[in-house]
Structure 1
């Protein structure tokens, strides 16, 4: 089957690769494969466990962990004979996080919606075959998902993941799915049958719905937004109890507040290098109408929906799956 770091140079996961302009430096890719094995700050792994997780020979892993330890990216624990994330990796991630001043504004807007809808509203970014919560909003009486900042969710079994893949240029989405079929065939089986429908629905309505994929008790709505900062799509998503919000109710009562949230977040992201970083953007609470529209149960494209879809899909050049790095 081959290791991921070796295959990347063949399948063309970067925009330049698709044009025959790029080559993946395998030792760098393998080093990041090793670091990704550590799910949390307290995670402790030995060379054998790392080897099993990332599919690299133990001898290669040994050399990589030695180098990463010398660099401060890992710390060796003699008593356990294992490694954990080191101070340099923590410092680097903390420094990057501190620089994202618009996150406070994003969190406020997520919370505005969370106060009206009893679920968890998330702002997630892609990482390989998962997405990671960068921010979230949740009311005190929230039901359903209880993800927090840093939580990882599956791309194949969540509304957020389905929205992300549907937003990619078709050749990029197909390449990601092919890679997923090699690495996680069972997960890919959840995504492939829905991909074309998701693409069309996203184009027409600006969002994607997934019901009962991650859990039979959870239904979700998600919409992708192009991020100039990350040079990839980020996703807004909400998870709600299926017993309270069936698919029709998601369309009737949840989709519009999420579209309004999407427009608000998109405006922040588009202006992030200007006024947002100077904290000159005024917070305007979103008006959420949670009443069901009894007169019109059908879903039709609107001017607002098309505007959002255009903002999500039509900005910038063709994007790669790991745009900057934005690795899917």
Structure 2
């Protein structure tokens, strides 16, 4: 019988092959080749949409000959596509098939979208829903007005938990054990960020518990100020969501983020919970 290594749902899947393999030590059911293939797919991002085998090897720690076999296989399956002129790979269209069932399972997104768009247009900013994935939040829905500045959220984009209102709002409704583990992972992965933003992060959790939303004044992106409110946790899948509103700082009047937009994002979160039939969140005790 295979040894099952239990991992906390808030744990972040590493993009380092060495770390993945080390964390699976003692798990005879762990398929290392499959894991390495997934690590290859996760190496691509918006800033590195085209990568060669050498670059993939450097990013993942997987030896180049192994990378070459994996990229060949993934290309044959359609998960990667190969540019012969550049001798580099990019994600293939088939990768989108994996995303659709996940998003389709979040039916509340369709209910929330017109309400999000209305708020985004009224404040001339962005309104987004995020899902907790380890030490990052991943956008699963987003609405925006016209010119929203340099940060344009899009589905699938990851952002820091410790440096953002969205991330802090998610952490505010985690069970205590998971909240503690999340802090440990943040400190282990980015000790510089944890040292710089720990107090602001914990204050964000207290803000959520006290008034139902938290603020962020440029800690993630200097020109964007944001406010966020917890949504809910889908307990069956251990999925934790929050909703935020980001606005270019120059458009805000003093006190507007806390006094006007914060209560509006809190009210929008409550409306979405009602439409989704989700319970009121329980806040983490600090």
Trace 1:66-77 onto structure 2 (pairs within 5 A): 66-77=72-83
Report if aligned partners of 2:225, 2:246 keep a CA contact under 8 Å in 1.
yes
Structure 2: where are the runs of 5+ without partners?
1-15
Residues 202-249 of structure 1: per-residue CA shift (max 9 Å, x gap): 222222211120233221111222242853111200112334436733
Is the aligned partner of 1:237 residue 2:206?
no
Report if aligned partners of 2:108, 2:272 keep a CA contact under 8 Å in 1.
no
Of residues 252, 262, 265, the one that matches 2:272 is 265
Residues 303-324 of structure 1: per-residue CA shift (max 9 Å, x gap): xxxxxxx72237xxxxxxxxxx
Is the aligned partner of 1:250 residue 2:227?
no
Report if aligned partners of 2:51, 2:88 keep a CA contact under 8 Å in 1.
yes
Of residues 78, 83, 87, the one that matches 2:89 is 83
Taking a change above 3 Å as real, the CA distance of residues 80 and 139 of structure 1, as seen in their structure-2 partners, is closer
Report if aligned partners of 2:127, 2:244 keep a CA contact under 8 Å in 1.
yes
In the superposition, the TM-score normalised over structure 1's length comes to 0.68
Residues 247-305 of structure 1: per-residue CA shift (max 9 Å, x gap): 7332211121111110112223337xxxxxxxxxxxxxxxxxxxxxxxxxxxxxxxxxx
Offset at 1:159?
1.2
Q: What root-mean-square deviation, in Å, do the aligned CA atoms of Structure 1 and Structure 2 show?
A: 3.5
Is the aligned partner of 1:311 residue 2:277?
no
Distance 1:9 1:193 in 2: 33
My pick for the range that moved more, 203-212 or 223-232, is 223-232
Give the aligned partner of residue 139 of structure 2: 133
Taking a change above 3 Å as real, the CA distance of residues 179 and 113 of structure 1, as seen in their structure-2 partners, is same
Q: Does the residue aligned with 2:123 lie in a helix, a strand or coil?
A: coil
Report if aligned partners of 2:120, 2:126 keep a CA contact under 8 Å in 1.
yes
Is the aligned partner of 1:170 residue 2:185?
no
Distance 2:179 2:61 in 1: 24
Is the aligned partner of 1:211 residue 2:217?
yes
Q: Does the residue aligned with 2:59 lie in a helix, a strand or coil?
A: helix
Q: Identify the structure with bigger relative contact order (alpha carbons < 8 Å, sequence gap 6+).
A: 1
Offset at 1:95?
5.3
User: How many pairs align?
Assistant: 268
My pick for the range that moved more, 140-149 or 217-226, is 140-149
My pick for the range that moved more, 233-242 or 65-74, is 65-74
Is the aligned partner of 1:156 residue 2:162?
yes
Offset at 1:145?
4.3
Report if aligned partners of 2:103, 2:140 keep a CA contact under 8 Å in 1.
no
Is the aligned partner of 1:48 residue 2:61?
no
Report if aligned partners of 2:216, 2:227 keep a CA contact under 8 Å in 1.
yes
